[in-house]
Structure 1
Amino acid sequence: MEELLATPFWTRFNLYFVATWVVLTLYWLVRIAFEARRRQRPAVTLWAIPGLLLLGLAPLLEVPVLFGLGAALLLAAEWWPRSFAPATGRPQWVWGLILAVLGAGTLLISPVTFLSALVGTGLALGGLAWLLAGLLWPPPRQAQTWLPPSVMHKVHSPTFGTEVRWQAAHVPIPPELEVTLAQGHILLRNTASESLWLRGWTPAGRNAFRALNRTIDPGEDHRLIREIGQAGVRVWYSPPDSPEVRLLRADWTEHDQSRTLH
């Protein structure tokens, strides 16, 4: 034990062992940085710190079993199901900075002894891990308040308008919307005497409601995407300033490649 407390303890390490230890440490730190970008904080992976220290103690104490224990801890830190845990907030990187500074200060104590190197390395590794997790944590996600483009333009609708589909809808006779089939799209024309508020639509026979938020005046057209093999369309709409929901049902056959449906 007296030899371990002396300064030249590092003479028991060889270059290959040190290089391997450094590579394992860098891999572990890179893994923490990568998981931090995925909003995963260190958990069981912190077992790698005593694992790395035990690997270093094995040649110093000349106890091979310590090498096995260190390797087992490294494997557990890598493959344990809870190596990283999801977190809703950024880890406190300030604590990581404090630990890293304390570890670096301990390693800089002159002369460097076995105990100071052991404690300093452990503090530095823990501090770097928490520091990386905090600094590389992505910023908070912005709330999404818009829909993907469903009908040639983006629609702002936080509720997606899906509640319209499940309301009782009136089917006017004759229809107030005229459907014209074209290559790749469907053209809706307002044939009513008043403006109509388009609320949403879906291809016939599909559970794929697509929200709309568009008012078309009498005689005005609006274009919808026509999918391959589509055999009909359902359009939900309302009169202006009215809670009433109306529904257009239009169906066609494969032979109706380009025609107007009334």
Structure 2
Amino acid sequence: MLDVPALFGVGAGLMLLAEYWPQAFVPTRTRPAPAWPLVVTVLGAGLGMNVLQGRTDPWITAISAALLLAGLAGLLAAAAFRPWPVTPPLTFASRWKTVTTPDWPELTVTLSEQGAHLCNVSGRALRMAGWSPAGLNAWYPVRTPAGEVVQELAAGQEALLPVHGHDHGVRVWYAPARGETTHLFRADWTPTAHAEDRVLN
């Protein structure tokens, strides 16, 4: 172990950091530009010509090899890029599709004076289609507490469903960020307007 160069340990540490760092390798949504990789490749090739003529020291050889590898990797990434599939937004038609109810809830509802606070507890982004009070043939867009329409509810993000005192539940249609299966979230409660009339059996 004592004979291992210090740079080897630094390189191994950087590789482990890149491998296990959260979101270290996030696929890009746009095609990488080939201009800079081409410039780097030309520089590496120019230095490589001097290396082939034997007029450089080992440091120049290492720099030339690194530039060539980096440039070729960039050119390969630009050439092999595949665009992400475009996911169509969820519409009113989602209500009439065959829906799936997950075994474990991906959304939760908390009631307050403002309405029903819908929270994404799934740990991933969810695409929102719309919602309706239980028992009503209605369709409303999901909105933030500020009133902005939400197309995608991030993990941990909240939305506000403006329910009234006589409403006894909500139905929310949504889908995973990557997937076409429509999910349905159901939540029911005793209406606050009739809370004093409850009979315990």
Structure index of larger Rg: 1
- The structure whose residues are more often helix, as a share, is 1
Which TM-score tier does this pair reach, normalised by the shorter chain?
Answer: 0.3 to 0.5
TM-score (norm 2): 0.45
TM-score by length of 1: 0.35
